[in-house]
Structure 1
Amino acid sequence: MKKRIQGSGLDESSILTDARKILAPQIEDRSRRSFLMRSLTLGGVAMLSGCNLTDNESVETALSSMSRFNDRVQGWLFNPNALAPTYPESMITRPFPFNAFYGIDEAPTVEEESYRLEVTGMVADKRSWRLEELRAMAQTDQITRHICVEGWSAIGRWGGVRFSDFLKRVGADTDAKFVGFKCADDYYTSIDMATALHSQTLLALTYDGAVLPREYGFPMKLRMPTKLGYKNPKHIQAIFVTNTYPGGYWEDQGYNWFGGS
């Protein structure tokens, strides 16, 4: 039986067909060596910063196609029932590192009283949510490892609402392909629906038993131990469900979209 990728209508045969299409075109002789060297490290492209892959248009086109192919393969391999490892409280990293595309002093300040989470797109209940409403939902917590694309990791304790519960509450169309996020720090990203429904994907409202601090994403961040750090947006202001590819802050600059850890 062919295994299909959830929400995409793809199977092993279509993936292999796409791979042949990607690799078949002839690369110009002067760029062949560059293409081969870079394609060997394609899986780690997202872990590099400041890379210049635009010195040859044919190389750039091929690598972009292969990156999209990587995303599709990761989606096919993703097991929605497999859990990321959890850890004892004694292994929590203290202090938990701050990381963003800006300094800690530039982290946005969001006022709790005026905060509203906007929910739009392919959902039945399009409206704004107050923090008190989110806190009134069933809460869970996890001690999991955050893995950064830069090569470091840290273990933290996060608490909040299972995202699958929230999506069910708002009547989200779970056959949709994507869930997108917009944030108070102008960050944006998106994830696949299978990861959105994973039992360890949280709308995190607390860290280490206390209200989520500003530097970690107050009032709310998405916590996914199955994804690399850049896929875990902070200071979330809007969530939308869509079949139109939303991209992301880093993804639009060349990082792999799926971003599995």
Structure 2
Amino acid sequence: MIERKHTLSRRSFIIRGAAAGGAALLGGCDQLSQSPSFRDMLDRAEGLTEWAQSLVLSQRSMAREYAESDISVYFKPNGSTRVADPEYIRASQNGFVDWKLRISGLVERPGEFSLDELRRLPSRTQITRHDCVEGWSAIGKWKGAQLGPILQSVGLKPDARFIVFHCADKLSFFSNYYESIDLIDAFHAQTILAYEMNGAALPVPHGAPLRLRVERQLGYKHAKYIQHIEVVASYSDIGDGRGSYWADRGYEWYAGI
């Protein structure tokens, strides 16, 4: 017990210190947000936050898992809840039997996986808490294919560094949703491509037919409606170059809990 209290105290000290630095920066955002030097400083601050979290989070540490009795009666869908893309609509009306997940980029064997093929791959079931940056949380049961074995099956090239998720939904007129994670999170045991929620097929508002569950990060990292996975050396060419839809709009790319 003493050791755990010490660990939590150290974690709180580091993360609160990083948060305090961020708060000091944000206080002048209105006046400085257009300054290139200020943007560079924010980028460095984000890197410090990620570094601080990496000090207290083991690469193998697991997000807490819960009992069936803890599952939330209502689980609010995060982000978008529908997709207007005609190809997606046709696939959903057919139960996604003809839907395919495409994997490309820095892999030895680019290819496609049907939903049935994904269901036959090594899977994991976990009951975890979804924490939204808006301040709400909910507990759900997820089942899906572990991302690590999928990446091993297609063969990562030596310069592969990040996994980018291209999605079917749009939160703005010009851009489909996109997200990325590094290889540490990609190969974590709890990182899955979920096709079931609470014992049933993943509902459309929650990202059917496939969504990312990266349980050690905040909800906006859990990309929904995944249609294409791209393996890259850098995410500088994705969107505005910050690695995800929300990071390009001021959120942190690394959203560790």
Shift, 1:199, TM fit? 0.4
Deviation at 1:92, TM superposition (A): 0.3
Aligned-pair CA distance for 1:75:
4.2
For 2:118, the aligned partner's letter is L
- CA apart distance, 1:233: 0.2
Q: Percent identity?
A: 38
Q: C-alpha distance in 1, partners of 2:162/2:24?
A: 24
Give the counterpart letter for 1:204 in structure 2.
A
* TM-score using structure 2 length: 0.76
Question: Where does residue 252 of structure 1 map in the other structure?
Answer: 248
What is the deviation of 1:143?
0.2
> What's the counterpart of residue 147 of structure 2?
163
In the alignment, is the contact (CA less than 8 A) between 1:159 and 1:204 conserved in 2?
yes
Instruction: Identify the match of residue 111 of structure 2 among 112, 127, 146.
Output: 127
**Would you say the 8 A contact 1:75–1:258 is kept in 2?**
no
SS of aligned partner of 2:212: strand
* Rounded Cα–Cα distance in structure 1 between residues aligned with 2:24 and 2:220: 14
1:231 equivalent in alignment to 2:211:
no
SS class of match (1:87): coil
Deviation at 1:227, TM superposition (A): 0.8
Please say if 1:40 is aligned against 2:13: no
1:74-223 matched pairs, under 5 angstroms: 74-75=53-54, 77-100=56-79, 102=80, 104=81, 109-110=88-89, 111=91, 112-173=96-157, 176-185=160-169, 186-223=176-213
Residue 87 of structure 1 deviates from its aligned partner by: 0.4
- What do the CA deviations read for 1:4-23 (whole angstroms, capped 9, x no partner)? xxxxxxxxxxxxxxxxxxxx
Alignment-derived partner of residue 53 in structure 1: 29
Q: How far off its partner does 1:131 sit?
A: 1.0
Paired position in structure 1 for 2:49: 70
Question: How high is the TM-score relative to the length of structure 1?
Answer: 0.75
Identify if the C-alpha distance between structure 1 residues 61 and 157 changes in structure 2 by more than 3 Å, giving closer, same or farther: same
Segments of structure 1 that go 5 or more residues without pairing to the other structure are 1-37
- Shift in CA distance, 39/167, structure 1 to aligned 2, threshold 3 Å: closer
CA–CA separation in structure 1 for the residues paired with 2:24 and 2:77: 23
Say if 1:254 and 1:243 are closer, same or farther in 2 by CA, change over 3 A: same
Superimposed CA distance per residue, residues 29-61 of structure 1 (whole angstroms, 9 cap, x where no aligned partner): xxxxxxxxx98351799xx9xx98252225444
Give how far 1:65 is off. Answer: 2.4
- Are the equivalent residues in 2 in contact too, given 1:144–1:155 (CA < 8 A)? yes
The structural deviation recorded for 1:139 is 2.3
Whether contact under 8 Å (1:68, 1:256) holds in the other structure is no
Do 2:106 and 2:156's aligned partners in 1 also have CA atoms closer than 8 Å?
yes
CA gap of 1:115–1:227, structure 2 versus 1, over 3 A, is: same
